[in-house]
Every structure is written in structure tokens, then in C-alpha cells.
Chain A
Amino acid sequence: MAAYIARRIGQALLVIWLAYTLVFLAVQLLPNDPVTIFLSADAAADPATIAAMKAQYGYDQPLIVQYFSQLVGLFTGDFGYSLASGQPVGERIGAVVGSTLVLASSAFVTAVVFAVVLVASATLARKPWLKRVVLNLPPLFAAVPVFWLGLVLLQVLSIKLGIMSLFPDGSFASIAVPVLVLAIHVSAPIAQVLLKSVDNVHAQPFIDVLRAKGASPSWIFFRHTLKNAAAPAMTISGITVGTLLAGSVITETVFARSGLGQVVLQSVTAQDVALVQGLVLLTATAFVVVNLVVDLLYPLLDPRILKSGTHGAPRALVA
């Protein structure tokens, strides 16, 4: 167990380090440095201003120094400075991230519940037509753009029916509707993977044994199938962190909510590469941490994972 945990944590750190290195290299590969890009919209920027600003944010240091000082910063919670406001990226994001976290986490919980309900009703439905309808919902949910669904709901609920305001006012509807829009989008991949995995579990002999012993379909589903089918669905849930973030940004824009979405839009419009770089690193770190948690939860579900060890990498293909 300890070896498993150590290996997973090591891999997580490696991925964060690689993500940092790739983003650093990508920023170096840009035709200009972040300061020049930021000031490019500003016609009056003279070389002295650019040089002063570069010195202020450390962009005049040798690359290797920049690389290591930023890397050390990353592990001490320093994600660099926004060029537009001069604020630390961490502070800038910290001020607004709360509302995005509330939105994203409620949407995530709703999505998981939604996916389980969908899969349970598809599995336990007695009527074939009902089953067909439910089975077709996840592909539909996957195809609906978040911004469009949000706008259509706004149209119907607030303009046609008048039961919610166009702008967030703290009412239940103005919180629940954005969560629902995001949850529908995120539930699609989770439901699809869970459906597939439930099918795989139902093909196993122990299900036949349970059935022969007289267990009811719903007992089998909730007591046995769900636990055995959970692992792939957990993996996909971990991967939806990226989708959740992108979806949150768009949902916040549609429903005029404050949050990370505003920072993202402002930083892109102002061509603030440093802020975007910080955002990317922060998100990658969040993604890796969530997936590490998922990895550490697997052995609780299925102790066999501890024994399987590393998968054999393929040897080179030669004659």
C-alpha cells in the first residue's frame, strides 16, 4: 500500500513538473516575451518602459534562472504576477475562485447523482421504450453546447415564464439553473462510461449466481453491480475537472456570475500571458491533485489494483 501511494504521488509530482516545463517552453517559443506581447496593444510603449517592466517581473534574467525561480515559486504557492494589475496571480485568482468552486463542485455532485440515476433507470427499466429513451440521453447531453443550453433556459425561465432573474440575485433559481446547465454537460461522459461498465459487470458469472439465488434486479444493481462498476466511472469523473473548469467559465459568462470566468476573459483580452500561464499551472495542479485522490481511492474499491503493479511497457518493434 505504501509503495502504491508513493508511486502515485511521485507520478503526480512528475506530471506537474512536466506541465510546468512544457508551459514554460511554450511561452519561450512565442515570437515575443510576455511583457512585449502585453504592451503591444499600447502604441506609446517605448523600449525603456519595456525594459523597466521586464526588470520588475524578472523577465530580464537568464532563462535558466527564470525557469528555476518560477519552479520554486510553484511549489511555494507563488504562481507569478499579473502584468495587467501587478497583483500576484494566486491573489487575483483567490479573490474570485470561491464562487467558481461552489458552482463547479455543486455541478459535479449533481452530475454524479444524475449519472447514477440515469444508469439505474436504464438498467432497471421494465419498459423497453423507456430504456431506449434513457440510453439516448447521455449522447444528447454530450452534444448540447453549455452556452446554448444556458441561453435557452434563460429565455424560457426568465423572459417567457418570469420565474428567475436575468442576473444573479441570490435566489434559488439563479443558483440552481447554472448548476443544472453545467451538471447536464458533465454528467454525459460519466453516464456513458458507467453504462458501459455496468454492462461488463452484468456479463460476469457472479451476477448469474445472485440471480439464481433469487436476488431482485434492484438489489443486484445497488448492492453488487454499482460497486464493481465504479472504478472506470471514477476515472472519468477525475478527468472531468478540465471540462468542469471550461464549462464554469462559459456558464459564468452566460449567467453574468462573477468568478474565474471574468479573470480568464480579462487576461485573454489584455494579452496577459503571465496571468494565463499562472491559471494554466493552477488548473493543471488541481487536475493532478484530484486525479491523485481518485487513484488513492481505487484500492478501497478493489484491492486487486495493489497487486497488479506496473503495466509492462512494450518493447521496440524490430525484425
Chain B
Amino acid sequence: MSIKLDEPLTRVEAQDNVPVVAPLKVDEVAAPKRKAGALRSPAFWLTCVPLTMVLGWALFPALFSGFDPISGVPAQKFQAPGAEHWFGTDHLGRDVFARVVHGTSQTLLTAGLAVSIGLVVGTGLGLLAATAGRAADTVTMRLIDVLLAVPGFLVSLIIVTAFAPGPISLGIGVGIASIASFARVVRSEVLRVRSLDYVEAAFMNGGTYWSVVSKHILPNSCGPVLALLAVDLGVAILAISGLGFLGFGSPPPTPEWGLLIAEGRQYLASAWWLTTLPGVVIVAVVILLAGLGRQLHKIFRF
């Protein structure tokens, strides 16, 4: 039995062998109409436009802030947020907004590495489970149970302990932790698609395993995977900033979102903006990504 959550928000939600007491609500009315409607809805643009801006921070940070993120002006230290320094300045007189903007690429690259690992390995495992026969399915699903049983946080810690702290260790660790959710979603989607008539028709027309999988099955099961991708990027950003806060990510003075908050912790009593404002940015980005995931899910719900 499977439960399909059409509003995935956290990684643990995306699972498919939850015993369900209630039968699933079938809600499949006018899919094409809804698709166009979602693209035209203001909610879709309200999530996409700010996210594009955050992507802009990562790609061209200098366009968004004229201040240097590494070397500050000591005379201007601990200035409260204002017209000149939107997020105030830190103990070295560095502009906090500039450090957040310049830190975006570091955080997004690490999260991107994590999500790519989850996507690639998870898709492979999910596809294997759904198409390679009963034995493969049983083995793969047990493997995924194990991945779920070891908290992602600890997977990251093993990698960081063995290969010195740093963004790459962190990305790999968080990525391994996200494999299970991708594998579950891909498996359940592939199982849905493979039973459809056109897959049989493709085989009747002489299609081979790989041609049918790559031309028909994977493209038609990508919707929920894309939605999970957006949500999981947010989850990865949270995990990475948490581990960065503990000091397992990039070393100072690199601006990274979690590290920024950790550095501000020493000045909690005198400069509230050092911790509060970078955190608001993290919360906003994660909410926007979750919102994007919901929108994508609506668009692709056939």
C-alpha cells in the first residue's frame, strides 16, 4: 500500500510503505487545466522571483552588495542595521548583508552537491528496485531501510570525522542521507508508470529495457522527483547550516550561512542582528523552496 503526499516538506515524509487506514483520496480532475493555472498563479511567481534573486546572489554577489565580505572597516564595527548597512556590521566592521550574499554560493554549492548525490544514487536505486525483479526490490528496499535507520546527521559526522571538516565532506555526508527519500519516490513513480499501456506498447514496438526506461518511464516519472528536488534542497540547506554552525563546514573567514550565525553567537548580548538576520534569510529560502516543491507537485500531478 502506498501513501502519496502531495505536499512534501521534509525528507522523512517521502516514503511509500506507510500502512494507511484510510483509502487514498482520488483527485484527478482536469490535469491539463490545472497545469496552466499553476503557471499563471501569483503564488508560483511569488516563490520563483525571490528564488531567482537568491540564485543571483550566488552567481553575481558583487551586483547585490558593494561591500567586501572578508575585509571590514574597523571604524564601522557593530553598527546596527540601517540604510547603509542593511543587516548591520560585525566585530570587524564587515557588512553582514554582504557576507550573507557572498555566502550564498558556498551554501548553495554544498547543498547542490548533496542533492545531486541524493538524486543520482537515489534514482539509480529506485529504478533498480522497481524494474529489476523481486529479489532486487527486496534487497534495495532493505538497504534503504538501513539508510533511514542511520540518522543523516550521523552519516555526515562519520564523513567529516574521517576526512577533516570542509564543504565537500559535508556535502557528501548530507547527500548520502538524502538518497533514501529519492529512491522511495522514484520507485513508487516508476511502479506507477510501468503499468501504463504506453509502456507495454513501447515494448511491443521492439523497445529494449534501456530505450523504454530512458524514453518513456523516466521522463514520465520526473514530476514528483522535481518537487522533491526543490524541497530536499531546502532540507539540505538546513542540515548544512546546522553542521556549519557546529563548525564542521568551511573554516572562517569564508562566509557561510551557518558559520555566520555561529560567529555572531559570541555577540548575542550586544549585536542581535549578527545572528537574527542571517537566520531570517535561511528561513525565507527554505520556505520558498518548500513552496516551490508544492507548486511543482501541483503542476505535475496528472
Q: Which A positions have Cβ atoms within 8 angstroms of B?
A: 11, 14-16, 18-19, 22-23, 26-27, 30, 37, 138-140, 142-148, 151-152, 154-155, 159, 188-189, 192-193, 196-197, 199-201, 203-204, 228-232, 235-236, 239-243, 245-246, 249-250, 253, 264-265, 267-268, 271-273, 276-277, 279-280, 283-284, 287-288, 291, 298, 301-302, 304-305, 308, 311, 313-319
Contacts and interface: CB of A to CB of B under 8 A. Distances in A.
Contacts of A236: 12-13, 18
Contacts of A301: 21
Contacts of A11: 145
Contacts of B136: 316
B271 to A, nearest CB: 10
A279 B157 CA distance: 10
Size bracket, chain B contacts: 35 or more
B275 interface: yes
- Among B146, B161, B191, find the residue whose CB has the most chain A CB atoms closer than 10 A: B161
B266 to A, nearest CB: 11
Given A15-B149, A268-B157, A318-B209, A204 B22 contact: yes
Contact of A317 (B22, B209, B283, B286): B209
Contact of A273 (B10, B130, B161): B161
B152 A246 contact: yes
Contacts of A314: 129-131, 133-134, 137, 191, 194
Contact of B18 (A144, A155, A235): A235
A316 B20 contact: no
Closest 6 CB pairs of A and B: A242-B151, A246-B153, A316-B133, A148-B279, A317-B131, A143-B286
Given A200-B22, A279-B157, 7 more contacts: A148-B261, A151-B268, A228-B21, A246-B154, A276-B157, A291-B149, A308-B1
A306 B57 CA distance: 54
Interface stretch (B28-36, B65-73, B238-246): B238-246
A280 to B, nearest CB: 5
B109 interface: no
B160 interface: yes
Given A15-B142, A245-B151, A319-B208, A189 B19 contact: no
A301 B18 CA distance: 14
Contacts of A241: 151
A192 B13 contact: yes
A276 B158 contact: yes
B17 interface: yes
Given A245-B153, A315-B133, A317-B194, A267 B161 contact: yes
B7 interface: yes
Interface of B: 1, 3, 5, 7, 9-10, 12-13, 15, 17-25, 129-134, 136-138, 142-143, 145-146, 148-155, 157-158, 160-165, 191, 194, 203-204, 207-209, 212-213, 234, 238, 241-242, 245-246, 248, 258, 261-262, 265, 268-269, 272, 275-276, 279, 282-283, 286-287, 290-291
A193 B5 contact: yes
A127 B13 CA distance: 29
8 contacts: A18-B145, A26-B158, A27-B162, A145-B283, A147-B242, A230-B21, A245-B153, A314-B129
A250 to B, nearest CB: 6
Contacts of A253: 245-246
Nearest to A138: B9
A302 B19 contact: yes
Contacts of B209: 317-319
A271 B142 contact: no
A14 B150 contact: no
A276 to B, nearest CB: 5
- Among B134, B138, B213, find the residue whose CB has the most chain A CB atoms closer than 10 A: B134
Contacts of B20: 197, 200, 231-232
A100 B1 CA distance: 36
A138 B7 CA distance: 12
Given A23-B150, A145-B242, A148-B282, A37 B162 contact: yes
Given A203-B25, A268-B160, A192 B10 contact: yes
Given A18-B143, A314-B134, A239 B272 contact: no
B20 to A, nearest CB: 6
Contacts of B153: 242, 245-246, 249
B268 A159 contact: yes
Given A15-B146, A231-B21, A235-B18, A139 B1 contact: no
